[in-house]
Copies of this chain bind each other. A is one copy, B any other.
Amino acid sequence: MVDNYTGKTRERPYLKAVQKLRHAGLRPTRQRLALAKLLFDGPNRHVTAESLHEESARANINVALATVYNSLHQFTDAGLLREVVVSPGQTYFDTNVSDHYHYFLEKEGCLEDIPEGLVGIDRLPEEPAGKKFSRIDIIIHVTENS
């Protein structure tokens, strides 16, 4: 793609996203690139399918909600995102895929990472023979004080 004004290539701004998708084995299509740019350019984020879809619309990116869902799940399967379920109909996707836990702020209805080291687990059950613990989710629900 060549910029109409400068004549220079405009691939650069998408380079990181392209490489990230390629590396994950996902074709860097127009829709996926746009979503990846929103998700991964900048600090860690917590989005829902709906919120990302709205954000895309605001940025004049035309993507169906179903495509947002599909892309989020593809990104998750590829290890680029982590899925966090808070309550029925509130599935978040977290760009921080390292081991960590979450606050859920009931009033604001949003997720926040708990900084590393603030929660300590000093005892866990044994993994039963032939099984393993694939994942440990901890969500601390935070409410306003009565």
A4 located at the interface, meaning its Cβ lies under 8 Å from any Cβ of chain B in the complex? no
Report the nearest B residue to A89, measured CB to CB: B88
Classify chain A: how many residues form its interface, as a range.
Answer: 35 or more
Comparing A13-21, A35-43, A50-58, A136-144, the segment that makes contact with chain B is: A136-144
Which residues on A are within 8 Å of B, measured CB to CB? Answer: 83, 85-89, 91, 106, 114-115, 117-125, 127-128, 130-145
A–B pairs, 18, beta carbons within 8 Å: A85-B85, A85-B87, A87-B91, A114-B125, A115-B125, A117-B123, A119-B124, A120-B121, A125-B140, A130-B145, A131-B145, A132-B144, A133-B142, A135-B140, A135-B141, A136-B141, A137-B137, A137-B139
